[in-house]
Every structure is written in C-alpha cells, then in structure tokens.
C-alpha cells in the first residue's frame, strides 16, 4: 500500500514515482521490471519535449488533485549514444536542451544567453550516485534533449563540441524536467543506448537490446528510486 510521505520525503512506504516514456514500447519495457513495485506509475507521454512536458504536467496535476502527489519523476527510454555502445545504460547528471535558443552570425546562442528561460535541469547528485551504483556498468553524463534527432556526423560533432559532457541524446528529458520543476518534484533521467548519434544507419540500430537493457536497469534501480530521500 502506498501512503503519502511525511514532510514530502521519499520513504519505503511513501514513495510515488512517475516514470515518463515517449512511446508504449518503452513504457512496457520499464513496466516489466516493476510489477512487484506498486509505488510506480509508468506512462507513455508522447514524442518530443512539448508532448513530454504536457503529458508529465497532466499526470502530476492529476496526482496532486487526488491527494496522492508524486515524489519523484523519471524520464526514461532509449536514445542515441555519443560514445557508449548499444545496450549501455546511461544516467543523466544534467538534462540539457540542445537546440532552444537562436542562431546568430557568431553561432548558436542558448535561450539563457538571450536573457530568459533555462536550458539545464540537474537531478539530485545523491540520486545520480545511487542509480549509477545500482547499475555498475552505467555511464553518467549530460543527456541532451533535441527536437530534431541528429542524422549527420557534422551535427554530432557540433553537439559534442558545445556539450563536452554529453553522453546521449533523446527527445523528451528536458520536457519532463520542465514539468517536474514547475511542480517542485525532483527529476532523474535513465536512458539505454539503441544507436550511435550521427549518420542514420537503421541496420546498426539495436532497439531490442536497448529495451532489454532498460528493463534490466529498472529492475536494479527500483529499490533506489523507492527509497531515495530528497534531503
């Protein structure tokens, strides 16, 4: 039975964790690991940052209205890896939107350089450490959110140059994080690599391996997510 956590802290009996994926295949991969963990709800909120933000915000609002608010939000799914091979699990220590800003004669300027907005959300450092320890083979770094998936070597190189700590790109993390921040709920992001960031080579994609890795990752991290305390 899930009961509300005292003073907003995550406890074994108080955790309510929303896992937001883009598509049903990712949702189902996560859910396969969580059948014995009633503190979790897994929802496919849509593809891209706008759909992810809207879907996550709707779920958070609905939970608050019913008196059972979520205590943690996790953006999860598969994505492209900058260096990690397919099947690798990656934990975000920063969730950064890569293409929100303006092109200028001097180059790209992020929205923060224009004087407003935000481009990065940082999951709690203690949670990142515990998640990485639970999946020893996992990589840790910045997961980029893009509205257009990278399809060329030049674009991949440009993103890597702008974001030296980037380990992966996907399309939803920043939207999920924006919704979580608006509701003052901590956020994390877990990705399993399905392909390399760069030229599109569908023959090299390993979606099945990535989904299997996602299931395995949540099997290992569920106890961490349930018991982690936002102190």
User: Does an H or E element contain 215, and which?
Assistant: helix 207-227
Burial (Cβ within 10 Å: 0-12, 13-18, ≥19) of residue 108: middle
φ/ψ region of 173 (left if φ > 0, alpha if ψ in -120 to 50, else beta) reads alpha
How many percent of the chain have pLDDT more than 70?
A: 94
**Which domain, by its residues, includes 25?**
15-222
Residue 212 lies in a domain: yes
CB-CB contact of 166 with 93 (8 Å): no
Could you give phi then psi for residue 88, rounded to 5 degrees? -75, 140
* Residue 171 per-residue DSSP state: S
How is residue 177 written in tokens?
A: 């994080």
Residue 38 lies in a domain: yes
pLDDT in tens, 108-142: 999 999 999 999 999 999 999 999 999 988 899 99
Average pLDDT over every residue of 165-170: 97
* pLDDT value, residue 10: 37
Using 50, 70 and 90 to split pLDDT, how confident is the model at 32? very high
Q: Is the per-residue pLDDT at 180 higher than 60?
A: yes
Q: Global pTM?
A: 0.91
CATH at residue 61: 3.40.50.1580
Residue 10 lies in a domain: no
Q: What's the structural domain count of the chain?
A: 1
* pLDDT value, residue 22: 97
Distance CA 145, CA 98 (A): 6
Distance CA 143, CA 173 (A): 8
Residue 59 lies in a domain: yes
Residue 2 lies in a domain: no
Looking only at the bridges linking them, the beta strands covering 17-21 and 40-44 are parallel
HSE (side-chain half, CA atoms, 13 Å) at 195: 16
CB-CB contact of 78 with 102 (8 Å): no
Residue 161 lies in a domain: yes
How is residue 149 written in tokens?
A: 């998936």
């Amino acid at each position: 039975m899930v009961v509300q956590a005292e003073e907003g802290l995550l406890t074994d009996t108080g955790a309510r964790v929303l896992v937001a994926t883009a598509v049903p295949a990712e949702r189902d991969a996560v859910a396969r690991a969580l059948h014995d963990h009633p503190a979790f709800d897994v929802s496919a909120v849509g593809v891209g940052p706008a759909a992810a933000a809207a879907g996550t915000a709707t779920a958070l609002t609905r939970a608050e209205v019913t008196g059972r608010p979520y205590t943690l939000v996790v953006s999860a799914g598969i994505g492209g890896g900058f260096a990690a091979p397919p099947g690798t699990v990656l934990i975000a220590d920063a969730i950064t939107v890569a293409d929100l800003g303006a092109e200028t004669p001097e180059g790209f300027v992020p929205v923060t350089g224009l004087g407003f907005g935000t481009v990065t959300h940082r999951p709690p450092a203690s949670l990142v450490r515990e998640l990485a320890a639970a999946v020893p083979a996992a990589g840790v770094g910045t997961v980029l959110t893009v509205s257009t998936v990278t399809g060329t070597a030049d674009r991949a190189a440009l993103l890597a140059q702008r974001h030296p700590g980037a380990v992966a790109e996907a399309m939803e993390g920043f939207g999920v994080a924006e919704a979580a921040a608006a509701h003052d709920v901590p956020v994390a992001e877990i990705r399993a690599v399905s392909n390399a960031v760069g030229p599109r080579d569908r023959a090299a994609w390993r979606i099945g391996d990535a989904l299997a890795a996602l299931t395995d990752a949540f099997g290992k991290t569920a106890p961490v997510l349930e018991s982690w305390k936002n102190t």
